[in-house]
Amino acid sequence: MENFADLLKSNEDYVSTFTKEDLTGFAKKGLAIVTCMDSRIDPLRIVGMHAGDAKILRNAGARVTEDVLRTLVLATHLLGVKRVLVMPHTDCRMASAEESEIHQQIKEASGVDTRGIEIRTVRDQNKALFQDIQRIESYPLLPQGIQVMGAIYDVKTGRINPIN
């Protein structure tokens, strides 16, 4: 617990001013945002929303994986999501090297062989983003006509740049 003492203290401060007890699991603005795990990204603030407004799905590189599709099925059929923003970002580590290079960097940094997992690096973010959008739009378990937009978030300016 001592390694997490700062988090527990911060949570006590948060609890003392907590006012969101009326929120439900429903996405009030009907939005899901698929974005990267990068800590420079504050997805709700970027699009002017607040807790309870949207579902946030995060992974390395903001890729539309099987788990993202599974989560979108639940979000669209049960939690009010009608539109999806897929939002990778500039200066992304997943767009900085080939898959084999990332595996090698991990091996050198920690001695762990990660070649048994797919990292999903991309060299062309626009191309990958188009593929991920198409993957959502054509997924048979998602509602027909789901609204999907792709945009690349610029970590230096805060601007999202739509590409589709």
CB neighbour list of residue 16: distance below 8 Å, 6 or more residues apart: none
Residues, the chain: 164
pLDDT of residue 1: 86
| Rg for the chain, CA atoms, rounded | 18
**pLDDT band at 58, cuts 50/70/90?**
very high
pTM of the model as a whole: 0.93
pLDDT tens digit string along 86-126? 999 999 999 999 999 999 999 999 999 999 999 999 999 99
Q: Return the bridge partners of 35, or none.
A: 58, 87
Domains in the chain, start-ordered, CATH in brackets? Answer: 25-94+122-162 (3.40.1050.10)
pLDDT tens digit string along 69-88? 999 999 999 999 999 999 99
- Percent of the chain past pLDDT 90, that is, above it, reads 96
Taking 80 as the threshold, does the pLDDT of residue 47 lie above it? yes
pLDDT tens digit string along 150-159? 999 999 999 9
Taking 90 as the threshold, does the pLDDT of residue 164 lie above it? no
- Going by their DSSP bridges, the two strands 83-87 and 31-36 should be labelled as parallel
DSSP structure string for the chain: -GGGHHHHHHHHHHHHT---TT--SS-TT-EEEEEE--TT--HHHHTT--TTSEEEEEETT----HHHHHHHHHHHHHS---EEEEE-BSS-GGGSS-HHHHHHHHHHHHS---TTS-----S-HHHHHHHHHHHHHH-TTSPTT-EEEEEEE-TTT--EEE--
